[in-house]
Structure 1
């Protein structure tokens, strides 16, 4: 199933389900079939694995009348970030693809050695942006604004010291995230200022449930800048796969429903190119992941 957070000119952000070109409002659809369902993504995830299974069956068996007054054409709504305001910081994973380790060592003075454990940083909730929201380019702060297309994992069940073999059972679904990075804003080796600025975590366009994705380690990732391809990789080349990341993070801190893990980016970032390329006002960034979709954001001067 494909879940979105949407808004119209007359509504606050609401939880929707993409179905046959429609955005079905989950709360209104629930009322139409006599069920109490939530209006937000986080409240729906909190219901646990039974919720998407119940909704899938209900939509499959619904009559045409059940969608009248409970859905809108997708073209008539604005898509927001699937989780517009995460409950806590996004977990970022650095240097998680072999070739990206190599290009970062050449251009960003990071170690050329492959990490022996996941490299973890964070992006605050205020960094989240939606489809078509501007990536803010503050020229007084950065002259090296960069792109990173990444698979984002959305946790569905509390994970505390989970085994790698059980880790994927704790995943609700997956979305696309652009780990926007100001390469010249690292401070004493710390990355949060580089990666945590407002608008530096565009996310979307939807969350695809884990059952529909299947194997998260066989998805192509692409980045285009102004229509020109810059990144073309596959999640099979992660150094630490999704299950390993969930197990590792949960070994030291509790992962809760709605938590987000951005799993790293393949080679092809601007800082790693020869000559280097960076984002400037007027550029348009497209991040695309197989089975999920494409996330588009313009770069705007602030």
Structure 2
């Protein structure tokens, strides 16, 4: 992989639609590293970064273009399990050489070269290793992006995906001298007023099923419209459903046009990725998502509960 990257002068980077901290952090860190090597790099995205990630270096380049320049020699797709979710136009996609760099176990291996490591905590962890393999010295700017990606996907090192390797790579990132406490504060202890209101609306719908084994919350389209918040900015709301000690599954359903966007978090028993895969989604064992077609909210809940019960008794 490093040989392919070193041989190319003009590269493009892309990640999945509705990018999160890992997607944005790993993409921008790699862009900085490749430019340190003298490469011409285009960041592709159909949308800007979420507001809480605007502090990252190069964040202003996100959403400027989703069209791959015709002279691109190499496309690196980061943190995206299937090509349909890549946030870019498809012009030239089939012609360019593609490196697929990801840590999702459900990855479709759509690249010409696939580097998929489900044991990695995050794509940012993998990019940290790649930057070292490329011979680039980590800068504070790269470290900010990488640290953001890792803490986002590990829940600030709380999730089981955190490994000894994760902490070793994080130590290298901290050695740059970055202000990690500032990043922690922005990501986990700063929430603007309208997002606090959105959290309140979700918590008002909190209910439990299966003797508390499943927590469910929902947000209507009107909740996002009234507060002028895009539905991708629902943040960590779904995690609150796992706080009851008896809860193993937490689900947040967000109303869309003719379907529901579903976020799932689990503790130990249910495989979140396997549950979401039933409905065409995917993700990680403890964190996953999908789009679920249903005429009513109750119908959507019923489908999910039926599959969870089936998985429990299998």
TM over 0.5: no
TM-score when normalising by structure 1 = 0.27
Instruction: Give the helix-richer structure, 1 or 2.
Output: 2
Structure number with higher strand proportion: 1
